[in-house]
Amino acid sequence: MKKFKFLFLIILFLGCIWYTNALEQQEVATNELELQNDSGENFSKVLLYFLNSEKELVPEYRFVSLNDLKTDMPKLIMTELLKGPSLEENKSALPEGVKLISTEIRDNVASVNFSKEFASESEMEKVRLSKISAVVNTLTEIKEIDTVEILVEGEVYEVRGRF
């Protein structure tokens, strides 16, 4: 039993080291974005979610321009999510070819409407959960959003399976 505890502690320690290293890499990428965008414009730091090599969601910070006072933050953030990750080791949780049709916030509920490519039928449950989680986690970073409704071509995207 002591061997298992010791092994568990080693694995936990190595996981902490890996996570700290990943955060440091993220901070370097964030600092580079900050330097590149130092032109006197108004920017906001947003948090987006992508998949790492183990197909787990990981956060990635990005700076977005807020030059237009009527900026539609959900649209802006979803557009950034669709652009994909800045870090090479990460990848998008959304299927290729997905387009954003519209976004709306009403009563703290964000409705985001994607093109039909969002609803790929050949997906496994984990893939579906990842893409939904990437959208929901990203949008709920906005203070005014508590709930997210996903639409595909104007129809509510039904989630089937166990999550």
Q: Where are the domains of the chain?
A: 37-156
Per-10-residue mean pLDDT of the chain, 163 residues long, equals: 53 53 50 46 84 91 72 88 93 93 93 92 72 93 91 85 48
* Per-residue confidence (pLDDT) for residue 152, from 0 to 100: 94
* Per-residue confidence (pLDDT) for residue 107, from 0 to 100: 93
Residues 6+ apart with CB under 8 A from 121: none
Looking at residue 134, its amino acid is A
* Per-residue confidence (pLDDT) for residue 129, from 0 to 100: 85
Q: Which residue has the tokens 């509920």?
A: 109
| Cβ contact 154:127 at 8 Å | no
What are 93-125's pLDDT values in tens digits? 999 899 999 999 999 999 999 999 998 766 676
* Per-residue confidence (pLDDT) for residue 113, from 0 to 100: 96
* Per-residue confidence (pLDDT) for residue 32, from 0 to 100: 40
* Per-residue confidence (pLDDT) for residue 44, from 0 to 100: 79
> In terms of Cα–Cα distance, which of 68, 48, 67, 31 is closest to 141?
48
pTM for this entry: 0.70
In the chain, % helix, strand, coil (3-state, to 5) comes to 40, 25, 35
Q: Which residue has the tokens 């790929």?
A: 120
> In terms of Cα–Cα distance, which of 111, 134, 133, 131 is closest to 122?
131
* Per-residue confidence (pLDDT) for residue 83, from 0 to 100: 95
Summary mean pLDDT of the chain = 78
| Cβ contact 126:55 at 8 Å | yes
| Cβ contact 101:141 at 8 Å | no
Q: How would you classify the pairing of strands 43-51 and 109-114?
A: unpaired
* Per-residue confidence (pLDDT) for residue 138, from 0 to 100: 94
